[in-house]
C-alpha cells in the first residue's frame, strides 16, 4: 500500500527535521549557558572582592583597637635605656598599651633610671631579678606578665622611629601574620644621626625557616619585632638553654609554623659600637653549638646530609660566618610540634594545644597498621 510508505517517509522526514533543529539549537544553548556561567563567575568575583575589602576593613579596625604589650629586658643599661623607652612613648604608645621591663640583676644605676622613668610613665611595670639570669629568662618573665595578645620586644639600647609601631600592628593584622618586623635594621653608633646610609640589614618580605637557615640576616638575629603571644607559646618561649635567645626564638617560631613578614618602607635603629649582651656572651660561647641545641626538637625537618654536618664535622662552625656559603637544607616545610615536655611552665600559663602529628608509629599504635 503506497500511502503507508508515504506516511512512514513523512514521519521520518519530520523526525529528521526535528533532529537537525535540535542539533542547531544545542550549541546555542551551550553558548548561552557558558555566557551565563561567565556572568555568574564575574558576579562572584565582584562579591569576593567586596568581601575581601570588608574583611580588610574589619582587620584594620581590630588592629586600631588592639593594645600592645611592649617588653624590654634590662641589664646594666643605665646610659641607653632612657632613650629607648622615650622612643616607645614618642608616637608608638597608645592608651591601654603597657611596657613591661625586667631588670635582670643590673649592678649599675639601671634600677634608679627605671624608677625615675616609672614616675614619668605610669604605664611602665618593672620586675627585678635579684641576680643576672640572661636575656631569655628576662624576656620570658616579661611575657609571662603581659595582659595583651600582641607583644613588641625592644632591647634597652635600640630606638624606634616615631609612629611606626601602630602602622606595624595594622600591617600584621591585614597580612594575617604571627610576626611582623620592620623592613630595615639600621645600625648607628652613639646617636641615630650617625647612621651611615647603607649600613643596614634588609629583611625579606616573608621569612621562612628555610630562609633563616641560609643567612644570618633574618629577623631573629635582631629580636626587635612584634609577635603574637600565641606564637610565643607555640614556640616554647625564648630558649633559656642559650644566650643567643633572639636567634633561637626566631628559629623556634618559624619551625612551629609562624608566618613572619616585614613591612615595606619601615625601619628602626639598632645600636652598635659598644659591648652589647650579644658581644659579651659570644666571647665565651660558641653560637654553632648552641643553635644546634635549639634545632634539636626540629631535627626531622632537616636533610640527613645536613644533620650529619650540624652534629658532626661542622658542629663548631655551621652557624658562624660560613652559613651563607654552606646553607642548611630542609626536607619538608611542614611545621614541627614537639611534645608537651618541650614547653616550660610559666606560672599559670598553660602549654598550647598542639595539633596531632600523624606518623606511621601513631597509626601502628592506634591499630591502623596491618
Q: How many CB atoms lie within 10 A of CB 160?
A: 25
Tell me the mean pLDDT in the region 240-249: 93
Q: Which residues contact 245 (CB under 8 A, 6 or more apart)?
A: 134, 135, 136, 139, 223, 238, 239
List, in order, residues 6 or more apart from 263 with CB less than 8 Å away: 167, 168, 171, 180, 181, 182, 183
pLDDT, one tens digit per residue, over 250-280 is 999 999 999 999 999 999 999 987 666 667 7
Angle at 347 between CA 343 and CA 352, to 5 degrees: 40
At 290 the pLDDT is 94
Distance in angstroms (rounded) separating the CA atoms of residues 255 and 355: 14
Give 189-218 pLDDT, tens digit per residue: 999 999 999 999 999 999 999 999 999 999
> Looking at residue 238, what is its pLDDT?
95
Over range 119-134, report the average pLDDT.
95
Residue 180: the pLDDT is 98
Query: Distance (Å, rounded) from C-alpha 295 to C-alpha 188?
Result: 31
Strand, helix or coil at 349?
strand
pLDDT score for 78: 96
How confident is the model at residue 280, as a pLDDT?
Answer: 76
Average pLDDT, the chain: 84
CA distances from 345 to 152, 236, 341, 342, 352 (A): 21, 9, 10, 10, 11
pLDDT-based confidence at residue 343 (cuts at 50, 70, 90): low
Q: What is the mean pLDDT of residues 48-66?
A: 63
Amino acid at each position: 500500500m503506497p500511502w503507508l510508505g508515504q506516511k512512514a517517509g513523512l514521519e521520518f522526514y519530520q523526525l529528521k527535521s526535528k533532529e537537525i533543529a535540535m542539533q542547531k539549537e544545542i550549541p546555542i544553548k551551550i553558548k548561552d549557558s557558558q555566557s551565563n556561567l561567565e556572568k555568574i563567575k564575574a558576579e562572584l568575583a565582584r562579591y569576593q572582592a567586596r568581601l575581601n575589602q570588608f574583611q580588610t576593613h574589619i582587620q584594620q579596625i581590630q588592629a586600631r583597637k588592639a593594645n600592645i604589650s611592649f617588653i624590654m629586658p634590662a641589664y646594666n643599661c643605665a646610659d641607653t635605656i632612657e632613650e629607648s623607652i622615650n622612643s616607645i612613648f614618642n608616637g608608638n604608645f597608645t592608651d591601654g598599651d603597657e611596657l613591661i621591663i625586667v631588670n635582670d640583676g643590673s649592678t649599675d644605676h639601671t634600677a634608679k633610671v627605671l624608677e625615675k622613668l616609672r614616675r614619668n610613665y605610669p604605664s611602665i611595670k618593672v620586675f627585678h631579678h635579684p641576680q643576672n639570669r640572661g636575656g631569655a629568662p628576662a624576656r620570658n618573665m616579661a611575657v609571662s606578665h603581659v595582659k595583651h595578645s600582641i607583644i613588641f620586644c625592644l632591647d634597652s639600647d635600640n630606638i624606634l622611629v616615631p609612629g611606626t609601631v601602630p602602622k606595624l600592628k595594622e600591617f600584621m593584622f591585614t597580612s594575617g601574620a604571627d610576626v611582623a618586623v620592620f623592613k630595615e635594621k639600621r645600625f648607628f653608633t652613639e646617636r641615630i644621626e650617625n647612621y651611615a646610609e647603607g649600613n643596614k640589614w634588609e629583611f625579606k618580605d616573608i621569612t621562612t625557616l628555610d630562609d633563616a637557615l641560609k643567612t644570618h640576616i633574618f629577623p631573629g638575629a635582631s629580636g626587635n619585632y612584634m609577635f603574637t603571644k600565641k606564637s610565643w607559646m607555640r614556640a616554647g618561649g625564648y630558649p633559656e638553654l642559650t644566650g643567643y635567645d633572639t636567634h633561637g626564638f626566631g628559629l623556634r617560631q618559624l619551625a612551629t609554623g609562624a608566618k613572619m613578614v616585614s613591612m615595606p618602607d619601615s625601619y628602626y635603629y639598632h645600636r652598635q659600637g659598644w659591648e652589647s649582651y650579644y658581644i659579651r656572651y659570644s666571647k665565651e660561647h660558641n653560637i654553632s653549638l648552641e643553635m644546634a641545641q635549639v634545632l634539636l626538637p626540629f631535627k626531622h625537618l632537616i636533610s640527613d646530609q645536613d644533620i650529619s654536618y650540624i652534629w658532626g664535622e661542622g658542629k663548631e662552625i655551621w652557624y658562624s660566618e660560613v652559613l651563607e656559603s654552606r646553607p642548611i637544607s630542609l626536607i619538608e616545610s611542614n611545621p614541627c610540634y614537639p611534645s608537651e615536655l618541650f614547653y616550660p611552665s610559666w606560672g599559670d600559663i598553660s602549654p598550647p594545644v598542639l595539633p596531632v602529628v600523624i606518623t606511621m608509629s601513631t597509626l601502628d599504635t592506634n591499630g591502623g597498621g596491618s
